[in-house]
Amino acid sequence: MSTLAVIGTQWGDEGKGKITDYLAQDADMVVRYQGGANAGHTIEIGDEVFALHLLPSGILTPGILSVIGNGVVVDLEALEEEMAKVEASGRSMEGLRISDRANVVMRYHRLLDGAEERQRGERGVGTTGRGIGPCYSDKIARHGIRICDLLEEGALRERLDVIYPMKKRQLEILGGEGMPAKDELLRKLLSQGKRLERHICDTSVLVNDAIKKGKKVLFEGAQGTMLDIDHGTYPFVTSSNCISGGICTGVGIGPSMINEVVGVMKAYTTRVGSGPFPTELTDEMGKMLLTKGGEFGATTGRARRCGWLDLVVVRHAVRLNGLSNLAVTKLDVLGGIDKIKICTSYEIDGKVEENFPASLSRLQKARPIYHELKGWEDFTAGKGAEFASKGYDSLPPNVRAYLDFVSKNAGTPIRIVSLGKERNETIDLRSHKKPTIHSFY
Ligand code: GDP
Ligand code: IMO
Ligand code: MG
């Protein structure tokens, strides 16, 4: 059995798309298990740039089955648009499978998302506006429309008869406008169902069968640990379980089926939207990370807030996900900085805190305690690929010292080092004979 999960350890946008695409070269199946079109996973292959929102990152590699699990909330319009874009690049949708149990993001969920944000005013979450919160709320309240409903007109009509009046009323109360007519929703869903029917199946059966047959299955997380509905910076979170625990419910497999959990960690920290961010930099260094790192949201285009690496956050992720190892991305972006800071703990009310607090007011008082490391020279063009081809030991000593510090402090080995956007700017220490890094291999 060989299964592997790729999970975000911070507030999303760690480079999960790049790492999933890299690891997918060796996989038979890539499965999304939560989130929806709020995700934006950027993958660069030569001159091509893809920002995937709903399609698993395996879709770009021929021969792989790409599965949208039951835990994903599916915006059918967004999905069809994305399918068309990827098809236009000459890739096939033959391998796409969509769970018949996944919930559908309805037009009114997007409208409710906007209306709720307006109601929250200055205390808004800063959602992506993709209807994620309202859709998951309806799922839990048992007011959801599922993919399987699209294939049965009578059942769908009955579901809408119950749900539609409540949603219409809810939108009116929140001051939202533009509720589509019930018949229009019904017609659209049925036609979308017809077009997508060949992709729809019981994906839990599919994935479990693949695992039993010894196929290599990769679970692709969306968002990140700090955006997890239970363990993130609530209420400034998304509405699903992004952590590895979400894989079992979001795919329909047992916990014993997950072999390896890779945590993707950006070499610094970013966050889009509102909420606590103890190591945020609002100075020139923050601006430099934003510009050099190209830190603009792949879904909404918003500028990401930037700050130093926070190992309190990473340790939180190590524990919650049972991480086997880390994939560290964007080391090239830190090149050219004289002294690099890494937060190892917080000081709150005069006391040292090693764990991430639940309380927002305690977080507001948290002062990062930093460890300082010497930086390294800027990478010139092609340097990332050169280091990658020569292997880990060719990296500048200060980069290795940085990675060693992270690995020891987080208590996890590092498996992957990413030095640029492309596949060939990646080092997998697994394929290295003698990794000098703190390692349990
Ligand atoms: P995701 O949501 O976790 O998949 O991450 P995003 O795609 O939203 O954001 C990560 C961005 O960083 C993308 O534009 C990637 O192409 C880019 N990226 C990933 N790894 C690296 C790296 O090692 N170096 C650089 N410079 N860019 C990277
Ligand atoms: P990927 O998969 C970064 C953030 C939003 C907002 C909060 C709630 O690309 O890492 P939502 O629309 O989910 O209700 O918004 O979560 N958010 C993300 N931030 N990367 C993402 O996905 C995100 N998906 C949601 O900005 O703060
Ligand atoms: Mg992203």
- For 40-87, how does the pLDDT look when each residue is reduced to its tens digit (9 = 90+)? 999 999 999 999 999 999 999 999 999 999 999 999 999 999 999 999
Q: Which three-class secondary structure string do you get for 360-395?
A: HHHHHHCEEEEEEEECCCCCCCCHHHHHHHHCHHHC
- Beta partners for 369? 345
pLDDT band of residue 1 (cuts 50, 70, 90) is: low
* Residue range 429-434: mean pLDDT, rounded: 67
pLDDT of 30 above 50: yes
* Residue range 330-354: mean pLDDT, rounded: 98
Cα(10)–Cα(227) distance, integer angstroms: 8
Does the pTM surpass 0.85? The reply is yes
Cα 69 to Cα 41, 157, 251, 298, 391: the distances in Å are 17, 24, 5, 22, 36
- For 108-124, how does the pLDDT look when each residue is reduced to its tens digit (9 = 90+)? 999 999 999 999 999 99
Ligand 1 binding pocket includes 16 (Cβ within 6 Å): yes
- For 355-397, how does the pLDDT look when each residue is reduced to its tens digit (9 = 90+)? 999 999 999 999 999 999 999 999 999 999 999 999 999 999 9
pLDDT of 433 above 90: no
> At CA 332, angle to CA 338 and CA 311, rounded to 5?
75
- For 120-176, how does the pLDDT look when each residue is reduced to its tens digit (9 = 90+)? 999 999 999 999 999 999 999 999 999 999 999 999 999 999 999 999 999 999 999
Ligand 2 binding pocket includes 56 (Cβ within 6 Å): no
CA 154 to centroid of ligand 3, rounded, Å? 38
Ligand number nearest CA of 224 is 2
Cα(281)–Cα(270) distance, integer angstroms: 10
pLDDT of 438 above 90: no
Catalytic, out of 21, 28, 41, 53: 41
Look at residues 80, 87, 89, 13 and name the one whose alpha carbon lies nearest to residue 49.
89
- For 213-242, how does the pLDDT look when each residue is reduced to its tens digit (9 = 90+)? 999 999 999 999 999 999 999 999 999 999
Scanning the structure block, which residue is given the tokens 């992720």? Answer: 317
Catalytic residue flag (residue 13): yes
CB atoms within 10 A of CB 209: 10
Ligand 1 binding pocket includes 419 (Cβ within 6 Å): yes
- For 201-213, how does the pLDDT look when each residue is reduced to its tens digit (9 = 90+)? 999 999 999 999 9
* Residue range 342-349: mean pLDDT, rounded: 98
Q: Given the DSSP bridges, would you call strands 351-353 and 96-99 parallel, antiparallel or unpaired?
A: unpaired
* CA trace torsion 237, 124, 55, 88 (10° rounding): -160
Counting residues of the chain whose pLDDT is more than 90, the rounded percentage is: 96
- For 88-99, how does the pLDDT look when each residue is reduced to its tens digit (9 = 90+)? 999 999 999 999
CA 367 to centroid of ligand 3, rounded, Å? 27
Catalytic residue flag (residue 41): yes
Look at residues 22, 4, 24 and name the one whose alpha carbon lies nearest to residue 66.
24
CA 41 to centroid of ligand 3, rounded, Å? 5
Cα 385 to Cα 286, 311, 393: the distances in Å are 26, 27, 14
**pLDDT at residue 258, as a whole number:** 97
pLDDT of 432 above 70: no
pLDDT of 305 above 60: yes
pLDDT of 299 above 90: no
**pLDDT at residue 298, as a whole number:** 86
Cα(260)–Cα(325) distance, integer angstroms: 8
- Beta partners for 67? 31, 97
pLDDT of 435 above 50: no
